Amino acid sequence: MRKICKIYRALVSGVMDMDEVVIKQPIGTIKYPGVAKGLYVASPSGKPALSSVRVLERDSENNCTLVQVEIQSGRPHQIRIHLSFIGYPLIGDPLYVSGGQPKCFHPELMDESFEKDGGYQRPENPVPGDCGYNLHAHQIGLIHPITNELIKITAPLPAILQTREEREAS
């Protein structure tokens, strides 16, 4: 059985009241200017996606929460979509807002030309590659297919995605 464990750190807007949450919202696509094959969003008709979120620290003074997210699936922008879907978008995310939808989406403005533009002209609205949010692939773990040895790879965390305890220890 193939099992890969992918763990991310993220800084979200708002103070999460729950300690852990499992998000099972499907992810699909919609037509969106500048994205030829469609923009991934929370969609009941989309493909299954599962994210397990655990709160690491709450910061009520700055209205944010540091979370760890383990994804079972790997849909494009899954973490951004799932966290925004439950009302906690990534701080600084120029695209996704609460509900797992794009910030600047107006269905009445969509037409067939958006699907064919290939994303080469710079759109006026945010697109998936835009940055500004704090999301970091922190760890990956997998079982070696021949030796059955656990292989764990960890990427160092930027200070903003470390807990107070981790910052003090370094």
Where the chain has pLDDT below 50, the residues are 107-123, 127-128
Structure confidence by residue, pLDDT tens digits, 79-109: 999 999 999 999 988 888 888 888 765 544 4
Do 41 and 101 form a contact (C-beta atoms < 8 A)?
yes
pLDDT at residue 125, rounded to an integer? 56
pLDDT at residue 96, rounded to an integer? 87
Q: Tell me: domain 1-68+82-105+117-142, CATH 3.30.2350.10, correct?
A: yes
User: Which residue ranges make up each domain of the chain?
Assistant: 1-68+82-105+117-142
Partners of 71 in the β-ladder: 6, 51
Do 94 and 16 form a contact (C-beta atoms < 8 A)?
no
Residues 11 and 90: their CA atoms lie apart, in Å, by 6
Residues 3 and 168: their CA atoms lie apart, in Å, by 33
- Which amino acid, one-letter code, is at 26? P
